[in-house]
Structure 1
Amino acid sequence: MTREEKAKIISQLQDEFSGDMAIVVADFKGLTTKKLEALRDAARATDVKVQIIKNTLASIALKNSNKDGIALKDTNIFIWGGDALSVSKVAAKFAEANAEFFKLKAAHIDGEVADAAKVVALSKLPSKDELIAMLLQVWNAPLQNFVIGLNALKEKKEQTA
């Protein structure tokens, strides 16, 4: 790889890392290509990016985008995106399904370096759509109960008449 290619990769990663909220680093040693493609497919569905990057190039890009503090050693795969919950859910779900070959190492979430436990904890939180659905259910419950009560009153009146 030439210097120009490396510089191009670093600048591209730096642009992507500086705009994104969450970056998760995981060890993928021993993972088959088929399983890596399954991870990429799951990530693509939620608008999350997955890429294997050389540690030196990734560390330079992370440092230039003010997201340093993650120690990069051995084999690493990077998972990043604009939504911290989506990134965490993709990474934690895949790590749970492939525990022997895929291990979460560290993350950079909302300007802070985080460990694997925080990524797993974030993955268990409900998404924005799920929270909206819960809120709508709470708002809808009094109306639904009122209609059920009126219907029961109507049936009772019909039975007595």
Structure 2
Amino acid sequence: MSRLDTKKVLVEDLNKIAQEAFSVIAVDYRGTNVPGLTQLRKEAKSQSVQLKVIKNTLAKRALENTKFDSLNEILTGPTLLAFSMNDFQSAAKLVKDFAAKEESFEVKGLSIGEGFLEPNELKALASLPSKEEAISMLLGLIQAPLNKLAGTLNEVPSQLVRTVNAVSQTKS
């Protein structure tokens, strides 16, 4: 396979990942040690986050005509792309946690669709609940009034029993 064919395959693979991803984060990884990056890759695999390091010119071609083409402007220097494959915030949480441990790991920008988001918006995206967490929070809100009503309805017979018990105690 020639070098040109290899590059075409890389671009196609990255384009396919970009088409399927919910969000992407571009990070300058200069100064990050290899054991740290290896640990990051292990964590990424378990969280359905795809990490890619590819030449910027190839990355720009791969992101062309995708929802993430707004990142093309910041693809300069060593860049690691973190694609979140299951939800919007998996990559954001992973990168935020790793950047807290590794000072040289600097976020260049991120995108959750058509627009470009500044690096300072990473924290907000990472703090969003996952889909499952949001559903459980909503169910808890829906269920709370029903639980209160059930408790109130159960209290009436219980109070009657306590009153009868108290009356029988005073008569004996």
TM-score, length of structure 1 as denominator length = 0.87
Alignment equivalent of 1:89, drawn from 90, 93, 97:
93
CA distance 1:64–1:159, change in 2 (3 Å):
closer
Q: Distance in 1 between matches of 2:89 and 2:12?
A: 26
Identity of aligned pairs, percent?
28
SS at match of 1:112: coil
* Whole-angstrom distance in 2 between the partners of 1:104 and 1:44: 20
Q: Does 1:43 align with 2:47?
A: no
Alpha-carbon distance, 1:81 to partner:
2.5
> How far off is 1:30 after superposition?
1.9
Letter in 2 for 1:126: P
Q: CA RMSD in A?
A: 2.0
Radius of gyration: which is bigger?
2
Task: Give yes or no for contact 1:70–1:113 (8 Å, CA) kept in 2.
Answer: no
Query: Partner of 1:31 in structure 2?
Result: 32
Which amino acid counterpart does residue 31 of structure 2 have in structure 1?
G
Q: Determine the structure 2 residue equivalent to 1:113.
A: 116
2:49 is the alignment partner of 1:62: no
Unaligned runs of 5+ in 1: none
Residue identity matched to 2:46: A
- Are 2:8 and 1:7 equivalent residues in the alignment? yes
Counterpart position of 2:80: 77
Structure 2 unmatched runs, 5+? 165-172
Pairing of 1:117-132 with structure 2 (within 5 A): 117-132=120-135
Using the TM superposition, give the Cα deviation of residue 24 of structure 1 relative to its aligned residue in structure 2, in angstroms.
0.7
Deviation readout 1:39-66 (Å, 9 max, x if unpaired): 2222222211012222222122122546
Q: Which moved more, 1:28-37 or 1:136-145?
A: 28-37
SS at match of 1:25: strand
- Work out which of the residue numbers 149, 152, 155 in structure 2 matches 1:152: 155
Whole-Å separation in 2 of the counterparts to 1:144 and 1:152: 12
Q: TM-score, normalised by structure 2?
A: 0.82
Count of paired positions: 160
Distance 2:36 2:88 in 1: 23
